[in-house]
Chains A and B, each alone.
Chain A
Amino acid sequence: MGIKKENVTRRDFLVKSGTIAGGVFFASLLSPFKGVYATKEPEGDGVWYGIGIDIEKCIGCASCARACKNENDVPKEPFFFRNWVEQYTITNNEEIKVISPNGGIDGFTQTVPEKDIYKTFFVPKMCNHCEKSPCTQVCPVGASFESPEGLALVDQNYCIGCGYCVQACPYGCRYIHPDKGVVDKCTLCYHRLTKGLDPACMLACPTRARIYGNLRDKDSEISKFIRDNNCVVLKPQLNTGAKLYYNSLNQEVR
């Protein structure tokens, strides 16, 4: 009897643990954990934009910043930018100097003598159109939102101008429009994209240092750019899902 009973419990045990193990296994089949490369595009079809900037090609002419201001009626004062260019200079005694005179529009003059320069490069900055954008997350009224194309846009006829999104953007890409009292930011020239035109900054770039395209299409220019180059995004530790990829960016850049 005793032996039999023991057998039953063992079988019971096996069956039970089998069920549990099987259950866990099937559950994991249903929603297995997957690591995701950088950002993951949401379900759906149609374009989902990403941007690439090749630091090596940037000559720091700030044509992009200029074109953006002209195209989008950004106030001309040096406090309001949808995109701008910075020059990083790392000196031989490890100091980081960054300049961006009027967002680069006024032209760069290197103040560090050449013999003291360890390395120096330009970094064009613009909205990263993050996939998990902290700015649209905090908008209290839903005036800042992510469009189906993956662009972080602002509904200026609905925005209340609280400035919370300006605080939440880790990249400083938003500003309150001084005349309209609402927030303004890069739209990747949504009004041009929808008409089949390139964004103004991409059009103006004389060396084609900036590209954009459909991240869902694995053969698009941007997908190739990300695959073939050693690309990074800004502030990856904040997990914003930034979709602005820089080729050969230095880690000093923030």
Chain B
Amino acid sequence: MGFLRKLINRARVKSPYVFHFNSGSCNGCDIEIIAALMPRLDLERFGIKLVGSPRHADVMLCTGPVTEQIKPRLQRIYEQMAEPKFVVAIGSCACSGGVFRGSYNVLGGVDQAIPVTAYIPGCPPKPSAITYGAYKLLEVLSEQLGISEDVAAEPVAEEQTESIKEAVEA
């Protein structure tokens, strides 16, 4: 693998740009994604940044069971993303259709329309679950792209979490 390719791959894993698409969800998942990006959990510390255009994005976050009307748009937007592209299905709806499964206007799951890389179940998944899912995806990606971390992430000590909590509360 050339040096440049390695560098690009490293940049991809270290700062993936995500893009959020609502494929017919109930908003529950969407507000939790935003909550995950907000000060308390702050997904941006992993280098993840929310962008507004599919052309800039590496990862698409999909919420919702994909209604018939949104399906062609979803596919079109997926085609607009540059390679390599990954799709994360967030919420039970996006994973399998959830409560809306069996309705005449719902496909039942994002994977019925486009290929999906990761699934984060829950209705809605907690922001911490979304953060964990994003972290796992990055781990898998770095393995796939051949840039695994040599040093494992250090767990935070108990006293430290306390002080962080206090800082957040203050």
Q: Do A and B associate with each other?
A: no
Binding site for B on A (CB under 8 A): none
Binding site for A on B (CB under 8 A): none
